[in-house]
Amino acid sequence: MELDSRQTIIVAILVLFLGKYLNQKFNILRKYNIPEPVTGGLVASLFFGLLFLLFNLDIKFSTHYRDILLIVFFTSLGLSTEVKSIIKGGKVLLILTVFAIAYIFLQNYIGILMAKLFNFNPVLGILAGSKMARPTTGS
């Protein structure tokens, strides 16, 4: 079964509302700051996985709006972070953040060095470093 762009968006909205409902219903999800899109997405993944496992029903979603919706999704995760939970992370979160930033610089530095070593434009080294090349699709 193949869903077009409109149907895929409708399913995505329903999954988001499911996550919102489940987060309101179960206190443990709010306690551990599980984002609503993650909750709904996990339940939807299990549901569609069961459909495939039990009935061999393979549902293909349109990827037409995928990239923009991924940006919206990850932005909403970042914006839903409460300052209280960042402060609660304390020293451990600060150390993790410093290591993550240092690792990004290291990836880019090595990527640029490798690009120069093989006489490529250094910008390609950044693409091979911390930036991910977007896969192309047929749609």
Helices (H) and strands (E) in the chain, counts: 6, 0
* Percent of residues in the chain assigned helix, strand, coil, to nearest 5: 75, 0, 25
Q: How far is CA 73 from CA 31, 84, 110, 136, in A?
A: 21, 21, 30, 20
Q: Tell me the average pLDDT of the chain.
A: 87
Q: Which pLDDT score is estimated for 57? A: 94
Between these two residues, 9 and 81, which has the higher pLDDT value?
9
Whether pTM > 0.95 for this model: the answer is: no
Interatomic CA distance for residues 10 and 3, integer angstroms: 10
